[in-house]
Amino acid sequence: MPELEAKIKAKEVELNAELLDLHDSKESIEKAILNFRHQEKNIGSLKQELDTLKQQLTKTKNPAQPLSARVNESKIGEDTDDEPCTCVFNKNRKWNPEKVIWNDHFWECAKWKDDGTCAEVQIIKDLIIE
């Protein structure tokens, strides 16, 4: 009888150890599931952010957008035009230059429109940058 009791006790200890292992495994699985759900939420928010960025990219590449919306299409680094844009001169703005330096020459508005904008620019003959 003591032999049988010892076998039962050993089996009980073995089963208790398996039960503890299963309990630890359950906790690990639950943690993994929580981590997975957290990662799913992160992926969802990243997908939304990606969609937003794609929409913004589409808007900036759309040629129908005004120039100010097409920031990525600037002419920085390209060859300059021979003369400055007439849009530099505008009497309606608080700051309106009398002359500008462009390609080593001074320029001014040669012809003003009735609305205060410049129609034509010209080089100031007497002033040259050396």
pLDDT in tens, 20-65: 888 888 888 888 888 888 888 888 888 889 988 888 887 777 655 5
Q: What is the pLDDT of residue 63?
A: 58
Domain ranges of the chain: 1-62, 86-128
Print burial letters for 57-92: b (CB count within 10 Å at least 16), e (below 16).
Answer: eeeeeeeeeeeeeeeeeeeeeeeeeeebebeebbee
> Can you tell me the distance from the alpha carbon of 99 to that of 124, in angstroms, rounded to the nearest whole number?
8
pTM for the model: 0.38
Within 10 A of 102 (CB to CB), how many other CB atoms are there?
A: 17
pLDDT of 60-84, one tens digit each? 776 555 555 545 555 555 667 788 8
Partners of 101 in beta bridges: 106
pLDDT of res. 23:
86
